[in-house]
Amino acid sequence: LRIFILALSVARCCSLRLQLPLARMKILKSQRVLPVPDGVEVSLKARKITVKGPRGTLSRDFTHVPHIDMIYDKENSQIVVTMFFSVRKRLSCLRTVTSHMSNLFDGVTKGFRYKMRAVYAHFPVNLNIGSKGEKIEIRNFLGEKRMRSCTMAPGVTIKRDETVKDGLILEGNDIDNVSKSAALIHMSCLVKKKDIRKFLDGFYVSEKGVISDE
């Protein structure tokens, strides 16, 4: 009887241990340093950053990211981003924030360029771009009568690629707006009710990156 009672108590202790939540290990301090390029003015207050450079001004709001400290060191011309007592899953926000700020610096100094190309097998696509490069009209896609119109996001211009047939070039300072405009063109020409393995018609991004110094 004593052995039975002892075994029962041990089983209860093991069950209680299994029910307890596992403690997640937290990192005491994690830090990343982002240097500020020459000729760029930075205004940082309450996790809201504004960047001004030769090509224009961009801003971004990081108030939704918890447990993060952002300090602009003017003497060393760098931004220090720090997180305290965070688990590994939340630490991924640290690299994300620094990448967003790096894209802001590239946007106001170099700019971003996306290249797209039209793909068709039988029906040639007719393109009509607005005079200011703020709009594109696509006709005769898969022989359809419907005209597709895409308006670029603010700060994005579109033009023809003179070196490639049926090529488009999208340029702008904000990488989000440039990529969204490219996605808008791509999604406006999706093939419906056909086998997309056979019908590959559409607009696809062929190249993307910063505007090179030419």
| Under 8 Å between Cβ of 56 and 105 | no
H/E run at residue 92: helix 88-109
How many helices and strands (H and E) does the chain possess? 3, 13
C-alpha 59: how far from chain center: 15
Phi, psi of 201 (to 5 degrees): -65, 145
How far apart are alpha carbons 50 and 2 in whole angstroms? 73
pLDDT by residue for the chain (214 residues), tens only, comes to 666 666 666 656 555 444 445 557 788 888 999 999 999 999 999 999 999 999 999 999 999 988 889 999 999 999 999 998 888 888 889 999 999 999 999 999 999 999 999 999 989 999 999 888 999 999 999 999 999 999 999 999 999 999 999 999 999 999 999 999 999 999 999 999 999 899 999 999 999 999 975 5
